[in-house]
Chains A and B, each alone.
Chain A
Amino acid sequence: MTKVLLIEDDSETAEEISAELSDRGFEVEWSANGIEGLDKARSSHPDAMIVDRLLPGMDGLTVIEALRKEQVRTPVLVLSALGAVDDRVRGLRMGGDDYLTKPFALVELIARVEALLRRPVESRETTLRVGPLELDLIERTARRGDRAIDLLPREFRLLEYMMQRSDQLLTRAMLLEEVWNYKFIPATNLVDVHMGRLRHKVDGPGEVPMIHNVRGSGFILRAGP
């Protein structure tokens, strides 16, 4: 069972997060302050950690820094009410692997924890394969079965990102941050519009759809139906 350590001082928030994680089949351990959290992180070896930035006793970033100094590489998702770009950059520099600003949707949190747990391993493979879909990273070409797919550069990057994380829920915010690299785009439907075009190219008429829209949360690329 995957173990997640949650360090969050607000008990109500912590309860909701724990309940949601348990529903998804995670084993959750909870600490309400930084010092206790750090002890638990050392003793129980969790697979992933969710750490609030502002904690009584010891600041969340200090906890992460301490762990990183001890060569603990457990992936950490930083939660924070501070949303400014600088705060985010600092959170990531101090050893956090991902940064989520409060308030957030629970779906978003779960998707990010899962993404952290299933980070794509560095591979020398130059071809990505998901079911009938094939992406040649050198030639910059894509094909589904025998059919060649003509992709624009941005669409290629989007598909590459999704194929590296197949069977995984990718939220709009994650895609915006990772594929477009811009966090402040006024068009709220940007991801949907681009995804719509990609889907149109990937899932031809009569073929089994591979890109699935998960209502209200994001997209999944799957080999099967």
Chain B
Amino acid sequence: MGVSGPDTIQRPPARARKAIVGAIRAAAQPIAEPVVAILLALLVGAVGITLCSGLLAGHKNFDVGLPAAAYLALLGGVASPDGIASTLNYSTPLILAGLGVGLGFKAGLFNIGGRGQFLFGTVGAMAVATAVGVSQSSYITVPLALLAGAAFGAAAGFIPGLLKATSGAHEVVTTIMLNYVFVFVTYWAISGPLSLPNAHQPITADVTNRNAALPIILGQDGHAGILLALVAVPIIWFLLYRTTLGFEIRSAGANPDAARYGGMRTNRLIVLTMSIAGLMSGLAGATVLMGVVHQIEPGYDTTVGFDAITVALLGRSNPVGILFSGLLLGAMRAGSQTMQVQAGVPAELVDALQAIILVFLVVNALRHWLDRRAARRGSTPAVDGGAAQAAEAVA
């Protein structure tokens, strides 16, 4: 076997090194873009904070150290058990709703209705808690309430799904419209049927008094909802990648014509996917009600709907990615109050950062995709502005 000494001795290590580098590169590639986007956004945010400190907030000079203090306070929450508990509390609904939005993206559907579905799920959970919780123990009430939250959320997602499947009404517009409808439905429900009979101002019952509060499992406030979220991640992942239904959902999003040829009933898939997405957001609402706020007044609202879109985009519609981006955004939300108090930087910075991250993410992704396309010359340009394309480009 003609062995030439020095070459053979060199070849195996060189090959092994290349293999390791290749593996690292393969693993790193999908997370590189979100990470780059986040870092760039933090940089831009730092510049913004510094500028504002000099121009606006009454500090008379540009405080270059302010961003560092702000970010430290923002993300420093993870240092203490209470901080971790707070992060997990914030992350729970973000992960749950983000999974729903991400599932929609995979199917080519743009579900902006997270806010309405969340609120309607809250109403459902509250209704069950009020109705059942007086007489039943928490072993019965808690699961029932969660179930109701999920069911109400699913119903909220079913409507736009059905409309799209039957009449082609675009789900972006119908879900946005339904957001407002559900805001008003929730307002009415809280001030009407769900409000306590003897209260001066309309206010619902406290779920703790109705055996419907989620148990605390970490620190002072860390509720069990996070377990739900952590379980949901592998479930959704399994659904998407290990079942035939998940294959159909992904196919319908990637190429509805080929999916049709493969025998998949795309209309049914649209309704099903929107319902599941609504279910997740409704469940998110239930966990927040039963784990954090416990009692709600008219005007109760949430930013989870839009946050979930960020989480899904950052996580590239992948359940594991969504877990991490949900945790990140949850940590930021949890730390935002601390940041406002300690560093004097308003909590709304988190929203601003979200948007900047997304800008960098989408611009980066497209450039990447364009490079890949140029290298593969002759392929057809994408002219479809659909969500699946966007999600794929981001993914």
Do A and B make up one complex?
Answer: no
Chain B residues close to A by CB (< 8 Å): none
